[in-house]
Amino acid sequence: MAVLIVDDSRAMRSLLRHILKDAGFAVIEASDGQEALECLQRCREIDLVLVDWNMPGMDGYAFIRAVRAAPAYHEVRLMMVTAEAEIEQVSRALAAGADEYIMKPFTRDAVLEKLKLLGILPH
């Protein structure tokens, strides 16, 4: 199973990559929404995208809206991974089509538990 990590911070991508690789996923990375859309087009094996909100160029919110507007990707699960931590933002992300939301900073266990909630990892 492949996971796409989208974040403009190299350190954050690396942190998430380690967590996901240890959990047995193949990992692909992009540093903004536009690049992430291109990855989705190229790689049909992507089942899950972890996406940052604030990025230069296309941000995570616009990315989620773009993915949800494309019927070809309706089975792709989307999780927002962001320092944005207000109820309104969580609600906006969910309304735009995010399946889950995790706030930075997070622990490894918290990420894995979210993947269980999404049914991507077994409990």
Does 35 interact with Mg ion (rule: CB under 5 A)? no
Nearest to 78 by CA among 57, 55, 53, 54: 53
Q: Kindly tell me which of 3 and 93 has the beta carbon lying closer to another protein.
A: 93
* CB closer to Mg ion, 11 vs 87: 11
Among the listed residues 123, 51, 37, the one whose alpha carbon sits nearest the alpha carbon of residue 80: 51
Q: Quick check: 72 and 43 in contact, CB under 8 A?
A: no
According to CB under 8 A, which residues from 60 to 99 bind another protein? 85-87, 90-91, 93-94, 98
Q: Determine, following the binding rule CB under 8 A, whether residue 108 of this chain makes contact with another protein.
A: no
Q: CB neighbours of 37 closer than 8 A, spacing ≥ 6?
A: 58, 63, 66, 67
Q: Applying CB under 5 A, which residues contact Mg ion?
A: 8, 52, 54
Q: Applying CB under 8 A, which residues contact another protein?
A: 85-87, 90-91, 93-94, 98, 100-103, 105-107, 109-110, 113-114, 116-117, 123
